[in-house]
Structure formats: structure tokens, C-alpha cells
Chain A
Amino acid sequence: MSEIVVTHVPHKRSIPFGQEAVGALSIIALGAIGYFLYPDDLAFLTRLIGIAFLVLSLDLVTGYCGVATLGHAAQFGVGAYAAGIACVRGITDPVALLAVGVFAGTIMGLISGALITRFRGLPQLVLSIAVGQLVAALANKLSWLTGGSDGLSGITPGKVFGIFNFDMYSRTAFLFSLGVLVIVFVLLQRFVRSPFGLMCRGIKDDDLRARMIGVSIYPRLVVMYGVAGAVAGIGGALTAISTGVVGLDSVSFERSAEVLVMLVLGGAGHLWGALAGTVIFMIFEHIVAAANPFHWMTLVGLLLILIVVFAPRGLIEPVLSLASRFKRKGEAA
């Protein structure tokens, strides 16, 4: 995976903010398809968007920085619990709740980043798992605050911007989540092409060389973890707002492993890969897991093995190479 070539060298840009506009419009178009074709499944689609934030967040640390982590649900869960607790204690404005989620996620991201990115290899993996499990244990034991194994319920957020009420068909929740996703996605597209984002990519490709040209690696990775925590916190807060409950599953080990599968399925190191992986995985899970959870586990395992063996860069890679070939042909003509 280390031979990823950065293709977007600053070439002449024809339309300013072209990529961002394409990204935003594509997500809106996909959202519109979901909204009009599957009006009965909006609750599921809203949940999907919430998870998409977590996968994007994982992409920032795993795809762009090469950190192997199995405890990423901690950031998501902390954001969700923070928003849920704030809502139960009286802050009902959805936008304010999002801010609470972002804040909590960032703090959690910085803490876990400081612990996890210090080492590489086995210690890193074990630390990431231990941090995730520590948060899960806390969420379970502090039941006066989090509801423990019963989950935190009774989250009833107010109207969005004081106008749109959350309805039982999740229309408002879906549109609200989609809007936040578009904004965050556009910001992230800018962020990963910023000098900071490119340097993180350099660290991932060859950390020794990065150190040789005078980059201090550790602080950068911690900051990146903070950003990832913020993104995951948004996802957690959105999920808490739209479903009205926060359970222990939002911090569980299984959640961390699942999002890693989604990311790799789509393609780590691409924001589109993260989104594509989430959509494909969640829709398959929605259909298959309902039938038999053990068949689902067998399938996921098989899928993961096949991806690692045959397509280690994820399903997005053939699409991207096709696109670049198409582009080159267009330039040659």
C-alpha cells in the first residue's frame, strides 16, 4: 500500500473549486435518489450517513497517515454520548448539539492520538484497542451518566434552525445529516490537499524520509487525530440526534472492526473510497444480516480476505484508474 502516487500535483485548474462542486453535487444527487426512491428507509439511510462520518474519520488516520487502529469507535461514541447527555440535560438545539459532539470528539481524538501515534506496529495496535475498550468500559460503568447497558434514551432534540421539526419518517433527520455531510466532505476535500494533508501522506509513505527532511512526525499525527476525532464526533452527534438513543454498540470493538472493513472495501486513502465502502457495506448488511448473522460474518470475512489478496487498494482503485485514463485520452486528443 505504500506505493500510492499522489496524482494531484498542482496542475492548471480550469474552474476554481471545481472538485469541491463536483463532490457536493454528487452527494446531493445520491441523497436525492435515496430520498425519493426509498422514502420508507430514510431512518436506515440516516444511520448510514452517521457511519459514513466515522469511516471518513478513520480514512484520515488510516488512509492518509497509515495508522492501524482497532479502536476508532471511541471517538464516535464519545461524540454520541456527549451530544446525548447534553440533550438530556437541556441543550436541545441540534446545531449546538453538533458543536458539543465536535468538541468532545476532538478532545477524545487528541487524547487517543497522543497515545496511539507514539509507536508503530504491535504496540500501536494494542494501544488503540485498549483505548477503545477503556472508553467502552467507562460507558458501561458510568451508568448514572450514560445509561450503562440499557443505553442513553430520551434524547429529544428541538427544531433545526427553529423551523424544521424531527418527524417520525426521519425526513428532517435525513436532510439535516445530508447537509452536514456535504459541508464536511467539501471541507475535507480541501483539507487533504492542503500542505498539512499532503505532509501526512508523505509521513505515511515513508516516515523515515519525512523525518530526514525535518518534519516532526508525532505532533502532526496528533493534530490529524484531533481532526479525525472532530469528524467522528459529528457522526456520533448526528446519530444520537436522529435515532434518539445511544447504546453501547456505538463504542464497541465490533463497530471499530466494521468501519475498518468498510474503509478497506471502498479504498483507504480516498475520501470517495470511504463513502463508497460505507454505502456498499451498509446496504449489504441491511439485506444479508437480517437473514442470518453468522452467514453475514462468513461473508464479511471472505470479502475481507479477497480484498486484501486481490484488491488491496479497494474497489475505488479501478474506477480511479479508468477515470485518469479517460482524462489522459481527452488531453491527448
Chain B
Amino acid sequence: MRTIFSIMTDAVAYGMVLFIISIGLSIMMGLMRVVNLAHGAFAMIGGYLASYAIRDLHVHYSVAILMAVIGTIIVSIPFEILLYRRIYRKSDPLIQVLMTIGITFFIIGIVNFIFGPSLKSIPLPQTLSGPLDIGFRMLPTHRIFVIACGVVTALALWLLIEKTEFGIKLRASVDHSGMADALGIRTEIIYAVTFALAIGLGAFGGVVGAEILPIEPFYALRYMVTFLVVVSVGGAGSILGALSASLLLGLADTTGKYLAPEFGDFFFYLSVIVIVFLFPHGLFGRSHA
């Protein structure tokens, strides 16, 4: 019982981290149809910035998160203007893969040149580091915090996309970008804002999840596949899909690591192949012909 409970907590926390980071990628893929392999690289920038802010500037954790998110968005602006705009919606996947892999390599090289090639820790504040008593069991406070962040992110995104004017325009652009353009929606602005939102979510997830996915020099490459798999299994552009895929994969991965550490990766990729082969547009995705 104790094992099951700790597996569940870890699995849900891990799934929520995956969700926060991947949902940005998923929205980008749903709207701009860009297979952005560099998404993890931006999450990594967020992690490095937060680590620098806390350890060298000695600011509070919450301020560090804010600085990391805003800093990463600022860093990403030149990439959006110079590079990503060229590949929105039209190019074939090969060009997108090549360009975003190039961006990933570039960011890894530069980040490690500036901050040094070592594991970066993001120290937690007092309130988040200890265990929390929830009545019948003690749980690590940080895990609870991560899960809460994930739930809040999912709710806020749902509100943004379903209930606001921006959301209406965004959904219109997803469904038919040419027609949305013709109706007077400035799609290039929608794209730019969505890009910033996606990158910001990635950076936020990178910082909050640093305890679970440690920030290290090859972070962008190591988890690139995982984030892509979440989006592919969940279906591009679907919040519910990304959430359920994250939790499912988090559960599968964590359970595998607890129970059969020898063959964790093997079963993970095998299940990915089976799921993607049976549901090529994801569990909750729609086909974009």
C-alpha cells in the first residue's frame, strides 16, 4: 500500500511536469504545425536562468520563476522573428526537424559556454522543501506544489482558450488560418503570442520540474523525445489529450522504474510504438489533412 501510494504521488508529479512543459509544444504544433524539437532547449534555458537567479542573485524562488519565464521569452524572440516564422504551417517536416535540431544544438552549446557544463540545482525555499502532513500520510511538499501547478496551468489554459476573445481567435486560426486571416484576425500576432506562451510554459515547467527532470547540459536532447512522445500520444493541440498522455506516460514510466528497472525504456518505447501506430493522430487529436 505504501509503495503504491508513493508510486502514485511520484507518477502524478512526474506526469504534471511533463504536462506543463509539453502543453506549450502541443499548442504550437496544433496551431503552427511546427515540430519544434527545440522546445526542451527553451525549458533548459529557463532552468539555467532560475538557477543563476537563486544561487548568484539570491532572489526568492517565486521571483526566480518569474525571471526565468520572462527571460526565456525574451531570449526566444529573435528565434521567432528570424527562424520560426519561416517554417510556420507550410514547410515539410524535414525542414522543420533540421532547423529545430539546429536550434537545439546551438542553444546547448551557447548555454554551456555561458553557464558551464555542470548539473545546475535550483534550491527550493523552506516552505517547499520539507514533508507535508495531509492527515493520514506525509508527502513531500514539492510534489504537491508541482501537482498544484499542473492543475492550475490546465485550468488557466482551458479558460484562456475556451472563454476569452484571444481563445476564439486562436481556435479560428487553428481551424482555418487563411479564412481567419481574411476575416481580419491578425494571425501573425496570434502566432507570435502563442509562441511566447508556449515558450513561457516550457520555461515554467523546466524550473518547477527541476527536482524531477534535473537541469543538466544535455537536458534538451535527453527529454526531447519524451516531450514529443507526449504530444504525439495526446494529439497535437488538445489540452485534455496532453494531460491524459502525460499522466499515462508518467504512470507507465514511474511504475516501470519501480517494478522492472531493467527494462523500463524498452517497455516505454514499445508502448509508444503501439499507441502511435494504432492512433496516429493521438488519443484526443484530430487529423489535419
Q: Which residues of A are interface residues toward B (Cβ below 8 A)?
A: 1-2, 62, 66, 68, 70, 115, 118-127, 129-131, 133-134, 136-138, 140-141, 253-254, 257, 260-261, 264, 268, 294-305, 307-309, 312
Contact = CB atoms under 8 A, between A and B. Distances in A.
Contacts of B102: 300-305, 307-308
Given A68-B94, A70-B97, A264-B98, A127 B276 contact: yes
B92 A295 contact: no
A298 B281 CA distance: 34
Nearest to B117: A294
Interface of B: 29, 35, 83, 86, 92-95, 97-99, 101-110, 112-113, 117, 217, 221, 225, 228-229, 231-232, 236, 262-263, 265-266, 269-270, 272-273, 276-277, 280-281
Given A1-B95, A138-B266, A312-B95, A130 B273 contact: yes
B277 A131 contact: no
B105 A300 contact: yes
Closest 10 CB pairs of A and B: A298-B109, A301-B106, A304-B102, A301-B105, A297-B109, A137-B265, A123-B280, A126-B232, A305-B102, A134-B269
Contacts of A130: 225, 229, 269, 272-273, 276
Contact of B113 (A66, A294, A312): A294
A118 B273 CA distance: 12
Nearest to B267: A137
A298 B232 contact: no
Contact of B270 (A134, A294, A301): A134
Contact of B99 (A70, A137, A141, A304): A304
Per DSSP, chain A at the interface is helix
Given A115-B273, A305-B99, A294 B83 contact: no
A294 B108 contact: yes
Per DSSP, chain B at the interface is helix
Nearest to A126: B232
18 contacts: A118-B277, A118-B280, A121-B35, A125-B97, A127-B277, A134-B266, A137-B263, A140-B265, A260-B98, A294-B113, A298-B108, A300-B102, A301-B102, A301-B103, A301-B107, A304-B98, A307-B98, A309-B99
Contacts of B94: 1, 62, 66, 68, 268
Contacts of B273: 115, 127, 130-131, 134
A301 B142 CA distance: 35
A251 B263 CA distance: 17
Contacts of A297: 105-106, 108-109, 112
Given A126-B272, A138-B266, A141-B263, A294 B109 contact: yes
A119 B288 CA distance: 13
B101 A133 contact: no
B35 to A, nearest CB: 6
Contact of A122 (B29, B86, B105): B29
Contacts of B29: 122
A308 B94 CA distance: 10
A257 to B, nearest CB: 6
Given A68-B97, A304-B98, A308-B95, A294 B112 contact: yes
Contacts of A298: 105-106, 108-110, 113
Contacts of A307: 98, 102
A115 B277 contact: yes
A123 B97 contact: no
Contacts of A138: 266
Contacts of A119: 280
Nearest to B99: A308
Nearest to B264: A137
A84 to B, nearest CB: 21
Contacts of B110: 298
Contacts of A268: 94
Given A68-B93, A294-B113, 16 more contacts: A2-B92, A122-B35, A122-B228, A126-B228, A130-B229, A130-B272, A260-B98, A260-B101, A294-B117, A297-B105, A298-B110, A301-B105, A301-B107, A308-B99, A309-B99, A312-B95
A115 B276 CA distance: 10
Contacts of B83: 305, 309
A312 B109 CA distance: 23
Contact of A123 (B86, B217, B266, B281): B281
B113 A295 contact: yes
Contacts of A134: 266, 269-270, 273
A117 to B, nearest CB: 12
A44 to B, nearest CB: 22
Given A134-B273, A295-B113, A301-B105, A122 B236 contact: yes
A264 to B, nearest CB: 6
A309 B263 contact: no
A301 B92 contact: no
A295 B113 CA distance: 8
Nearest to B104: A301
Contacts of A253: 221, 225
B266 A129 contact: no
B101 A304 contact: yes
A120 B281 CA distance: 11
A308 B217 CA distance: 25
